[in-house]
Amino acid sequence: MSKLTACSLDCYDACEIVYKDGKITPHKEGHTDGFLCPHLNHYEKFHQIQTPRYNGVEISIEDALLKLAEILKNTPKEKSLFYKSSGNFGLMQDVTTHFFASFGATLTDGSLCDGAGEAGIIEGRGSNKNMPLSEIAKSEVVIIWGRNPHTTSSHLLPLLKDKIIIVIDPLKTKIAKVADLHIQLKPHTDLELAMLLSRFLFIENSIDEEYLKEYASEYEDFYELTQTLRIKKTLDNIDIDLSQIGELLAFVKEKKVAIVCGLGMQKYKNGADVMRSIDAFALHLGLFGKEGCGVAYLGNSRENINSPFCTKGKKVSKVDTKFSEFESVFIQGANPLSQMPNSTRVTMEISSVKNIVYFGLYENESSAMAHLVIPAKNFLAKNDVRVSYSHPKIMHMPKVKETKFGISEYDLSAYLCSEFEIEIKTEQEYIEHFLGFSSRKIEDTPYKKGFDTDDGEFIYLQELDGIKVNSDALYLITIKSPKSLNSQFHRQTHLYLNKSHGFSNGEILKISSDNANVKLEVQLNEDLRDDCVLVYSGTKGVNALTSSSHSYEGKNATYQENRVTLSRC
């Protein structure tokens, strides 16, 4: 028997899967195109937590639920925190939010992921409507800007065949190696680059004034703002030649262009402004509202989907959460002790929490600190519906196998709702609610008739601040690994740098930031610039180096704001 479902992981691609004869196989049709990534190809080989435990002693699932209810009964409501991430991207995962919000617990807001870039997009356009894959397929030129598709969105690759590819990335990624043009800029100089690109479009008279007069009438003021950057100094700072600006513009003028953005250039305090300046460049190229043109980022996956769940309540930021202010913390689909910034702070804060409950699939830093560990069922063994932040399809994820261990988010929430007399519908009602949006209307070429701002016009960045300070210290680049999904699966253990620093493979180095020192083994890699150190997301200890500051807009973590130095141990 074979059943169609979808991968649950937090990933652009949101692949469809055929579960056949007890095996995960890729769906041959549609965006999945007959292949999955290593995480899913080996998904069932990763050991899941099978037995609940309390204070290190294994207990039954019934006792774990009783314990959980007891903890919640004995904690003042305002002292209970529900901390959820997207370990599973399914819409039903929020049924637990429904319980905790209705119960009166504190929830979280802010983002460890794409919040800064999204804030910049919304400030400029009034909404975050994404360019879907089907439109990228129609473009002639694709600019991959701060995204690493071979690792994080491999299903984009078949669409890129026979197109002109331009990559803007401090790292020589796989896609950069085969690109027609790679701008290997200094990290955190994207805002300046985007401003210069716009400026040269103006200088070369390559803008559509009629269009701008209608939808971005302040374009002349913006041009003046671009003129405040001194060309030579800015090029030196970005560390590129003027000829590269010329090459890029020659490739894109009069063409159908898709700018495919990732997280890379927005993991900074001014991440919103960076994204907004890229949007402005797209605007000047005339990319909005046209077939095969646009800007793809991590879109609002829930566009036009109403939540049936209660999600209202007091919220604290998930970037610098003050765990010690709570008596009980319930962690779902997350490994905050590894993935939040400033993990030393997180560990210290959380160690004073009386009751830490971990509800997840795998053992990790967070399960190790938890008093109560409750194993979840994985996506194959429960019902859900998912959406994606890169394509509009709504996918049903029916239960395709039975497992004896673990509990689904719905069953856990139904138990708690009944204990605390909170209303909850049947699982089937929620699933049908979500599937009811299957024919939701998502525009292929959004912003055809202007933007979603009050007057329909694009709102430009008014001033340039937050341009980075000069420092001789190295940039810490922390990106996604092909072997892990953040801290799930095979986590990396090295730091990567090129040989210009005089270190050798296998040496253990101390990597120091304002926050901490971490020891990691060196692996040389010539794809990096001389001024960068790379440590993959999910590597143990990397987030001890990062600070828990917020982006100026979007309440986002700023993983790449910190500079580091290296020394032999």
Ligand X SMILES: Nc1nc2c(c(=O)[nH]1)N[C@H]1C(S)=C(S)[C@@H](COP(=O)(O)OP(=O)(O)OC[C@H]3O[C@@H](n4cnc5c(=O)[nH]c(N)nc54)[C@H](O)[C@@H]3O)O[C@H]1N2
Q: Residue 187, interface with ligand X (CB under 6 A)? A: yes
Tokens standing for residue 288 = 């909005």
State the nearest-atom distance from the C-beta of 433 to ligand X, in Å: 19
Quote the CA–CA distance of 358 and 369 in Å, as a whole number. 9
State the nearest-atom distance from the C-beta of 29 to ligand X, in Å: 22
State the nearest-atom distance from the C-beta of 521 to ligand X, in Å: 18
State the nearest-atom distance from the C-beta of 381 to ligand SF4, in Å: 17
Q: Residue 560, interface with ligand X (CB under 6 A)? A: yes
State the nearest-atom distance from the C-beta of 242 to ligand X, in Å: 19
300 contact partners, CB below 8 Å, separation of at least 6: 118, 127, 128, 129, 130, 389
Tokens standing for residue 14 = 């949101």
Residue 478 contact partner, candidates Mo ion, ligand SF4, ligand X, none, CB within 5 to 8 A by sort of partner: ligand X
Q: Which of residues 104-163 bind ligand X (CB under 6 A)?
A: 112-113, 145-148, 151-152
Residue ranges that bind ligand SF4, judged by CB under 6 A: 7, 9, 11, 13-15, 36-37, 39-40, 154
Residue 15 contact partner, candidates Mo ion, ligand X, ligand SF4, none, CB within 5 to 8 A by sort of partner: ligand SF4
Quote the CA–CA distance of 52 and 61 in Å, as a whole number. 6
Positive or negative, the CA dihedral 440, 446, 449, 454 is positive
State the nearest-atom distance from the C-beta of 217 to ligand X, in Å: 29
φ/ψ of residue 238, rounded to 5: -70, -25
Q: Apex CA 273: angle with CA 343 and CA 539, to 5°?
A: 25
Residue 489's DSSP bridge partners are 484
Show the binding pattern over residues 313-352: x = contacts ligand X (CB under 6 A), - = does not. Answer: -------------------xxxxx--x-------------
Sheet holding 2-6, edge to edge: 2-6, 16-20, 23-26
Our CB check for Mo ion shows the closer of 222 and 362 to be: 362
Among positions 113, 131, 160, 167, the unique one binding Mo ion when judged by CB under 5 A = 113
Residue 479 contact partner, candidates ligand X, ligand SF4, Mo ion, none, CB within 5 to 8 A by sort of partner: ligand X
Residue 40 contact partner, candidates Mo ion, ligand SF4, ligand X, none, CB within 5 to 8 A by sort of partner: ligand SF4
Quote the CA–CA distance of 62 and 52 in Å, as a whole number. 9
Among 154, 176, 157, 174, which residue's Cα sits nearest to residue 166?
176
State the nearest-atom distance from the C-beta of 358 to ligand X, in Å: 8
State the nearest-atom distance from the C-beta of 105 to ligand X, in Å: 16
The region of 16-24, 60-68, 357-365, 413-421 touching ligand X under the rule CB under 6 A is: 357-365
What residue has token string 């007891």?
Answer: 70
State the nearest-atom distance from the C-beta of 322 to ligand SF4, in Å: 32
Quote the CA–CA distance of 233 and 189 in Å, as a whole number. 12
Our CB check for Mo ion shows the closer of 339 and 515 to be: 339
Residue 400 contact partner, candidates ligand X, ligand SF4, Mo ion, none, CB within 5 to 8 A by sort of partner: none
Amino acid at 476: L
Residue 7 contact partner, candidates ligand X, ligand SF4, Mo ion, none, CB within 5 to 8 A by sort of partner: ligand SF4
Tokens standing for residue 143 = 């600019």
Collapsed DSSP state (helix, strand, coil) of residue 375: strand
Binding-site size, ligand X (CB under 6 A): 58
Quote the CA–CA distance of 129 and 364 in Å, as a whole number. 35
Contact between residue 554 and residue 119 where contact means Cβ atoms under 8 Å apart: yes
Residue 152 contact partner, candidates ligand SF4, Mo ion, ligand X, none, CB within 5 to 8 A by sort of partner: ligand X
Contact between residue 332 and residue 305 where contact means Cβ atoms under 8 Å apart: no
Among 324, 333, 335, which residue's Cα sits nearest to residue 366?
335
Q: Residue 376, interface with ligand X (CB under 6 A)? A: yes
Which residues contact Mo ion by CB under 5 A?
113
